[in-house]
Amino acid sequence: MSFFEFLGQYWPRLLGGAGVTVAQFLLAAALGIAISLCMGLMKLAPNRALRWGAITYIEIFRGTSLVVQLYWIFFVLPLLGLSIEKFTAGYLAVGMNIGAYGAELVRGGILSVPKGQWEAALAINMSPAQRMRRIILPQALVNMLPPWGNLMIELLKGTALVSLISVADLMFESRQINATTYLSAQVFGAALIIYYIMARFFVTPFMRWLERFMARKLGRA
Amino acid sequence: MFDWKWDFVWEIAPRLIGATGNTLVAAGAGYAIAVVLGLILALAQRTPYRVLTFVVRELVEFVRSTPLILQIFFIFYVGPQFGIRLSPWMSGMIAIGLHYACYLSEVYRGGIEAVPTGQWEAATALNMTTAQRYRRVIIPQAIPPALAGMGNYLVGIFKDTPMLSVIGVAELIHTANAIGSENYRFLEPYTMVGIIFLAISLPAAGLIRLFEGYVRRKLGL
């Protein structure tokens, strides 16, 4: 069967899988960004307990593999009385994993804001919360956006692992089609191309646009 | 609710330790392939042949933006369609080696581009051939600054080995799955795998940081 005949026959399933992948990506990204911000700020907090909480979280999620985290959340948590549906477990694991990597980027971004900015905010009598929200974070965001672009690609690739707990994403659908038809080159080739298109023509251009947009907002473009 | 059995832990520990060996071998072999192939990919982008540069550049981008797990499936299942039978280990090593070679080629590229122009000119002035110039002057100076990035990918490759379980390589997760389904107990095996990952990757990351500091001091940076 030629590649195009194959696509003609199986495109609805591949597209459905890709839709699930996109949903997993968006949910995991939202969760990951929230966790990054939270843990990144906690790691810089003056309070020792908060700092150690963040360090523990980051080291656990960066020190083990995403597959292990996914299996743990999906197979072990129910034994401890917390059952999570597979779709939720999927983006939860991917988002929590990315959050640990993102936290280090947030921390780096905040530390890269010049000292004078902190002092100036203090001088005009801003509270610490105001200073962080209105002065430091916007500048930190611009500084850390380039590495976030790479992290978002890693996140997209990470969502492929949710197929291991049978979430019907693009990877899972490809495996199913492969198992029933043995058209491995066609199905896995098509899936590779779809992932590539998502990364190269959607995620990366969006992140580039965001970089330019934020730089303009701060008057740096 | 929390029924952790120490007897079971001791019973399965030898199997998991054996699997840890396999995981380390897989990570080591994959990394060895990636280190060599990555350098070739980096150098291939520096030849005067535009077509070669373009093809390698696009290949690196493609591999970096698609999921490793999909690449593992692709290599494992597509070979037999064309009469090439690869064992799970073989295809796993090729997939992981190629994937990380693409990442490492970027690290090398950064290192090579950081070598000052004067060094290239001096090597030319000494009438060195291109091969000599790279081997004796450029590469020795390009590697030390790249060591940190290379070390991070060694830990990265270690954490990605669980993906090999999908094609039947008997590494940690594969063994934990087997133990779990034989005994209907998932709490201990998955938790132990997580702890083993932490116990290896955290010290490894620390050692890499120390090594990096040592190299930087040696070079007087």
Structural domains present in chain B: 6-218 (1.10.3720.10)
Compute the distance between CA of residue B9 and CA of residue A196 in angstroms, rounded to an integer. Answer: 42
Section A33-49 average pLDDT: 95
The CATH number of whichever domain residue A118 belongs to comes to 1.10.3720.10
Compute the distance between CA of residue B149 and CA of residue B91 in angstroms, rounded to an integer. Answer: 25
pLDDT at A145: 93
What percent of chain B has a predicted confidence (pLDDT) above 70?
Answer: 98
Question: What count of other Cβ atoms lies within 10 Å of the Cβ of residue B202?
Answer: 16
A65 CA: distance to closest CA in chain B (Å): 5
Q: Does pLDDT of B140 surpass 80?
A: yes
Parent domain of A89: 3-217
Question: What count of other Cβ atoms lies within 10 Å of the Cβ of residue B53?
Answer: 14
Q: Does the CB of A194 have a partner CB in chain B at under 8 Å?
A: no
List chain A residues with CB under 8 Å of B165. Answer: 67
- Name the closest residue on chain B to residue A173, using Cα atoms: B70
What percent of chain B has a predicted confidence (pLDDT) above 90?
Answer: 78
The yes/no answer to whether this complex scores an ipTM above 0.85 is yes
Q: Does the CB of B67 have a partner CB in chain A at under 8 Å?
A: yes
Q: Does pLDDT of B107 surpass 70?
A: yes
Inter-chain residue contact A196 with B64, CB threshold 8 Å: no
Q: Does the CB of B207 have a partner CB in chain A at under 8 Å?
A: no
pLDDT at B147: 86
| pLDDT tens for each residue of B71-100 | 999 999 998 888 888 999 999 999 999 999
A152 CA: distance to closest CA in chain B (Å): 10
| pLDDT tens for each residue of B186-202 | 999 999 999 999 999 99
| pLDDT tens for each residue of A2-23 | 889 999 999 999 999 999 999 9
Task: Band the pLDDT of B2: cuts 50, 70, 90.
Answer: low
List chain A residues with CB under 8 Å of B71. Answer: 192
User: B residues 81-120 near A, CB within 8 Å?
Assistant: 81-82
Question: What count of other Cβ atoms lies within 10 Å of the Cβ of residue B135?
Answer: 12
Section B29-39 average pLDDT: 96
Inter-chain residue contact A67 with B173, CB threshold 8 Å: yes
Compute the distance between CA of residue A106 and CA of residue A92 in angstroms, rounded to an integer. Answer: 20
Backbone phi, then psi, for B219, in 5-degree steps? -85, -5
User: Mutate which of B70, B107, B185 to test chain A, going by most A C-beta atoms within 10 A?
Assistant: B70
**How many separate domains does chain A show?**
1
What's the whole-number average pLDDT of chain B? Answer: 92
Compute the distance between CA of residue A186 and CA of residue A1 in angstroms, rounded to an integer. Answer: 9
| pLDDT tens for each residue of A57-83 | 999 999 999 999 999 999 999 888 888
Q: Does pLDDT of B1 surpass 70?
A: no
pLDDT at B221: 63
Q: Which residues of B59-73 are buried (b: 16+ CB within 10 A; e: fewer)?
A: ebbbbbbbbbbbbbb
User: A residues 96-115 near B, CB within 8 Å?
Assistant: none
B60 CA: distance to closest CA in chain A (Å): 12
Give the nearest partner residue to B1 out of A80, A184, A188, using CB atoms. A80
pLDDT at A80: 85
Compute the distance between CA of residue B210 and CA of residue B220 in angstroms, rounded to an integer. Answer: 15
Inter-chain residue contact B81 with A185, CB threshold 8 Å: yes
Give B221's DSSP letter. -
| pLDDT tens for each residue of A81-135 | 888 999 999 999 999 999 999 999 999 999 999 999 999 999 999 999 999 999 9
3-state secondary structure of A170: helix
Q: Does the CB of A161 have a partner CB in chain B at under 8 Å?
A: yes
Tokens of A210: 């965001």
A108 CA: distance to closest CA in chain B (Å): 17
List chain B residues with CB under 8 Å of A67. Answer: 162-163, 165, 173
B125 CA: distance to closest CA in chain A (Å): 39
List chain B residues with CB under 8 Å of A72. Answer: 190-191, 194
Section B24-30 average pLDDT: 95
Residues 6+ apart with CB under 8 A from A70: A89, A90, A93, A94, A161, A162, A164, A165
With 0-12 CB in 10 A as exposed, 13-18 as middle and 19+ as buried, what is B3?
exposed
Q: Does the CB of A184 have a partner CB in chain B at under 8 Å?
A: yes
Q: Does the CB of B208 have a partner CB in chain A at under 8 Å?
A: no
pLDDT at B182: 93
What is the count of residue pairs from A and B with beta carbons less than 8 Å apart?
112
List chain A residues with CB under 8 Å of B180. Answer: 75
Show contacts of A72-75: CB within 8 Å, 24+ apart: A72/B190, A72/B191, A72/B194, A74/A165, A75/B180, A75/B186, A75/B190
**What's the full length of chain A, in residues?**
221
pLDDT at A23: 97
| pLDDT tens for each residue of B109-120 | 999 999 999 999
Q: Does the CB of A191 have a partner CB in chain B at under 8 Å?
A: yes
| pLDDT tens for each residue of B160-170 | 999 999 999 99
